[in-house]
Amino acid sequence: MLERASAQSTERERLRLMFDQAPGFMALFEGPEHKIAIANHAFIQLVGRSDLIDRTITEALPDFAEQGLDDMLNGVARSGEAFIGHAMPLSVARADGSTEEILVDLVLQPVPGSNGEPSGVFVQGHNVTDDKSGEAVRKAHNKVLELAIGDSPLETTLGELIRIVEASSRTGMLGSILLLDQDGKHLRHGAAPSLPPSYMAAIDGAEIGPCAGSCGTAAYMGAAVFVSDIATDPLWADYKELALSHGLRACWSIPILTRGRKVLGTFAMYHREPREPTIRDLMLVDLVTQTAALVIDRERAHEALRHIATMAGPSPVSA
């Protein structure tokens, strides 16, 4: 008998570990108020907090309740039928005050009680944001290259590139590309489809240097500059009032370089709250700067050819 009890205990522990370490998120909501009875590690990571057990959804996850999860739990509990959703958008509040936009595949399954009526709802699913975003980025990247090959205006092509990143961002990122002037000392407007035009006009022609905001410093050093709080960073001493007046609080700038490491311009990611870059942000940066370098380099080569053609003038007509 003791051996049987020991075997059952071992099996329960094995099942508990499998549940907690499962790659998909899972949680059990019980009763009419949907108290969280259990939640695995993936669910805790998804929602960004661990103080969940024995709390109702409105207490533990008020932002999720406001987005309709409470209504979905009620619907499943009343009907006794499962709910399945694919690539559902969800806003998640993070500890640093930022909001992350994610996509989830979701299943809500009623759990029958002793009387046959649902006593709870089991929630499971996967975060599919990276899968969907990666697919969208690849398609949009091809579109950008098609625009460049089709000789679309440079601002149109670069603007489309920025929109790719903005659409893929989970944090409301605002992008801009500045081009290094031929004099090698000033930055000129390239594209910034979502930033205030008055802000972009004010920084158009700004001089680069060792303490010239994020973009001016990145272009001067030929290296990335990550400013997590514009209000306090000394690099923004001359520009912070301008940025803050437009609601811009963080700016990460990365130089756009040729293969020979010549600076062509900068790509900047602005945020409306102070924040540090994540691994995902840095992966998007690589895609943008490499593509932008190809597009800008191609445009400048065409400009040079047009200039040579103009200087040469029309071919003489033979007698």
Q: Does residue 113 have a pLDDT over 50?
A: yes
- The closest alpha carbon to 123, from 34, 59, 230, belongs to 34
Q: Does residue 18 have a pLDDT over 90?
A: no
Give pLDDT, residue 183.
93
Q: What pLDDT, in 10s, does the model give residues 70-82?
A: 889 999 988 888 9
Give pLDDT, residue 318.
46
Give pLDDT, residue 292.
87
User: Buried (b) or exposed (e) across 167-187, using 16+ Cβ within 10 A?
Assistant: ebbbbebbbbbbbbeeeeebb
The encoded tokens of residue 65 equal 């309740």
pTM over 0.85: no
Q: What pLDDT, in 10s, does the model give residues 25-57?
A: 999 999 999 999 999 999 998 898 889 999 999
CA-to-CA distance for 135 and 137, rounded, in angstroms?
5
- The closest alpha carbon to 103, from 115, 91, 116, belongs to 91
Does 152 or 209 have the greater pLDDT score? 209
Residues 6+ apart with CB under 8 A from 77: 32, 34, 110, 118, 120, 121
State percent of the chain over pLDDT 70.
84
**pLDDT bracket for residue 310 (50, 70, 90):** low
CA-to-CA distance for 92 and 188, rounded, in angstroms?
36
**pLDDT bracket for residue 171 (50, 70, 90):** confident
Give pLDDT, residue 193.
95
Report, as an integer, the average pLDDT of 118-128. 87
CA-to-CA distance for 58 and 35, rounded, in angstroms?
9
Does 269 or 90 have the greater pLDDT score? 269
Q: Does residue 307 have a pLDDT over 60?
A: no
Q: Does residue 243 have a pLDDT over 60?
A: yes
Task: Assess contact for 148 and 162: CB atoms under 8 A.
Answer: no
- Please give the mean pLDDT across all residues of the chain: 84
Report, as an integer, the average pLDDT of 203-212. 96
Report, as an integer, the average pLDDT of 242-248. 97
Report, as an integer, the average pLDDT of 273-297. 81
Give pLDDT, residue 145.
73
Cross-sheet strand order for the sheet of 99-112: 35-39, 25-30, 118-127, 99-112, 83-93
Give pLDDT, residue 121.
93
CA-to-CA distance for 108 and 63, rounded, in angstroms?
18
